[in-house]
Structure 1
Amino acid sequence: MKKKRIKPGRVLCYAFLTAMTIFSAFPLIYAFFGSFKSSVEFLNGGANILPAQWDFSSYAKAWKEANFARYTLNSLFISGMTVVLTLIVGSMASYVLARTSFRAKPAIIGLLGLVMFIPNVVLIFPIFKMCQSLNLMGNIWSIIITQTASGLPFLVILMQSYMVSISREIDEAAEMDGCSFFRLFYNIMLPLSKPILATVALFAFKNAWNSYLLPLALSLSKPEIRPLTVGVIALKDMGEGISAWNIMIAGSVLAVFPMVIVYLFMNRFFIEGITSGSVKG
């Protein structure tokens, strides 16, 4: 029986991917086990990843004493509403860009592509002043609206490229049956776009959940509306004269955990949406 020859290139590829996986996962693993160390053991450092003595009090302190329950509810509300607004506004905009032709269409798509490359840090001051003029400072909806607006350009282009790949023969058949433009969108285009909608929902949830600078700036006057990512910073002052890094990391693990659960639940739809768009487009 002839043995299958292993190509050196494939071995190098697998070795590189394995090394990158370990390199990417190591900080997460170190943070997870570091959250169970005492502050003294954590500050002393050392090469041991596992704690010498498991200490679960950091999670209790992070959850109870830093108002993490409130911050978690804020993050869930902000992220959930961002997903809803992104799907509603983004799907309608993408449908129009994918299925209609008008003179300004190339300019709009080009503008969306340009806005994608503007970092949020550049927009913080203009957004801050705009929210002040609209009397939205200290309002949780200011965070939701800005998070939705900042993520829409990329997500609209993503959905538009997917919808363009759907055959127009479906539209023509539906129009022959008397289907209107809006009914075609709701009854045909949306069901066919479920994979990309799931992908967009995951992107929108991730962006809103992980955002820090914009929520920090917009919640300065009212800490009660802070999301979880901003609330984690408050844990640094919980140590006895020193920065409580173990408690901060425990809070960070709590902040990351819901995002991991959402990704594990949506992973199949996420991969399907990405690959379907790349194959069809």
Structure 2
Amino acid sequence: MNVSALRRRLGIWAQVAVLAVVCVVWIYPLLWIVSASLKDSLGVFSGGLGLIPGSPHFENYARAWRDADFGLYTVNSVLVTLSTVVLVVLRCALAGYVIARRDFIGRRVVVGVLVATLFAPGGLTIIPVVELSDLLGLLNSRTGIVLALAGGGHVAAVLLYAGYFTRIPRELEEAAIMDGAGFLRTFFRVVLPLAGPVTATVSVMTFLAAWNNFLLPLVFTFSRPDLRTLSVGMLAFRGTNSTDWSGLAAAGTISLIPLLLVFLALQRYFVEGVAGAVKS
């Protein structure tokens, strides 16, 4: 083996070693939560950084699912999250399509305002959102939570769609118009089906944000505990003078499973969508 080949192989081994260390650092907290969910409350901290529980306590999951109503909270989270994803995809896709294809007056100003909102804190609009929802009679309802989550700027999703739509040949739209298709028919029948990768990307981003959102579901369900989502439902394990850490870890593990399944199922499309939009 010559010197250059040896150096190249050593470089590859060094990269693999560094990536392995980074992977362990990133994945360790997840493994620790799963391990803590199988311990008793004292064993969560007495075991230190160890990941293997002495005797697995699977009753923690039963307690989280049944006694803390996590079955109901899971249903609420699924309904709220999926509804939010659908609304965000439709709204952001239409907005991105108009920005990418329509040269209207003030287009640059609109894009500039959208980008500027990225720097606004997320909790800045919570008070007007709650007041408006109360006036519309949407407070303490799933519909109110969905509209509040889906009604934000979602600027990143709009810009991803706008960047992706600029890559689609205009000839396809012109052909649809020649066949008598209007704006909406051209969008839903021709343009949107071609944006599968970026739709998967936006869906994953929105799913993660809506599933993990805590502030809005908390505010909207103060007087309706039966409408709580998983993130808010974890408060059930925290009492005035104590916290059920093993039950909390089991609840956290339950809430992580759908996130992992969605991301693993759509990860290829997620990368393609981001790469395609950025390349534009």
TM-score (norm: length of structure 2): 0.91
Q: Which moved more, 1:7-16 or 1:158-167?
A: 7-16
Percent of residue pairs bearing the same amino acid type: 32
2:207 to 205, 211, 219: 205
Contact 2:96-2:158 within 8 A present in 1 as well: yes
Q: CA offset at residue 129 of structure 1?
A: 2.3
**Aligned amino acid, residue 261 of structure 1:** L
Aligned equivalent of 1:126, options 125, 128, 138: 128
Question: Is the Cα–Cα contact under 8 Å of residues 33 and 249 in structure 2 kept in the other structure?
Answer: yes
Match of 2:269 in 1: 269
With over 3 angstroms needed to count, the CA separation of the structure-2 counterparts of 1:186 and 1:6, relative to structure 1, is same
Q: Please state how far the C-alpha of 1:46 moved relative to its aligned partner.
A: 2.5
Secondary structure at 1:6's aligned position in 2? helix
2:246 equivalent in structure 1? 246
Of 210, 216, 219, the residue aligned with 1:217 is: 219
> Unmatched 5+ residue regions in structure 2?
none
Which amino acid in 1 is paired with 2:172?
A: I
Q: Which runs of 5+ in 1 are unaligned?
A: none
Per mean C-alpha deviation after superposition, the further-off stretch among 179-188 and 66-75 is 179-188
The one-character-per-residue Cα deviations of 1:79-122 (angstroms, maximum 9, x if unpaired) are 01001111221211211111111112212211221222222122
TM-score by length of 1: 0.91
The 3 A distance-change label for structure 1 pair 243 and 165 is: same
Cα deviation 1:4-28 (Å, max 9, x = unaligned):
2334765554444332221111110
Instruction: Report how far residue 174 of structure 1 moved.
Output: 3.4
1:59 aligns with 2:72: no
Q: CA deviation at 1:75?
A: 0.2
Q: Which amino acid aligns with 2:274?
A: I
Describe the superposition over 1:233-272 as per-residue Cα deviations: whole angstroms up to 9, x where unpaired: 212239xx63110100100000111111111111222122
Shift of 1:150: 2.4
Match of 1:29 among 25, 28, 31: 31
Assess if the C-alpha contact under 8 Å between 1:151 and 1:207 holds in 2.
no
Aligned residue identity for 1:268:
R
Q: 2: CA distance between counterparts of 1:104 and 1:232?
A: 45
Partner of 1:170: 172
Q: CA RMSD, aligned part only?
A: 2.1
Structure 2 partner of 1:44: 46
- 8 A Cα contact 2:160 2:278, kept in partner: no
Give the secondary structure class of the aligned counterpart of 2:151.
Answer: helix
Which digits, 9 at most, give the CA deviation of each residue in 1:141-167, with x for residues without a partner?
111111112263221111111111222
Match of residue 6 from structure 1: 7
Q: Deviations over 1:176-218 (max 9, x none)?
A: 4444333221221012111111111111111110111111112
Question: Which residue number corresponds to residue 68 of structure 1?
Answer: 70
Q: How has the CA–CA distance of structure 1 residues 13 and 160 changed in structure 2, closer, same or farther, with 3 Å as cutoff?
A: same
When residues 188 and 6 of structure 1 are mapped into structure 2, their CA distance, relative to the original with a 3 A threshold, is farther
Q: 2:185 aligns with which of 183, 186, 190?
A: 183
CA distance in 1, matches of 2:177, 2:243: 65
> Partner letter of residue 44 of structure 2?
F
Greater CA deviation, 107-116 or 249-258? 107-116
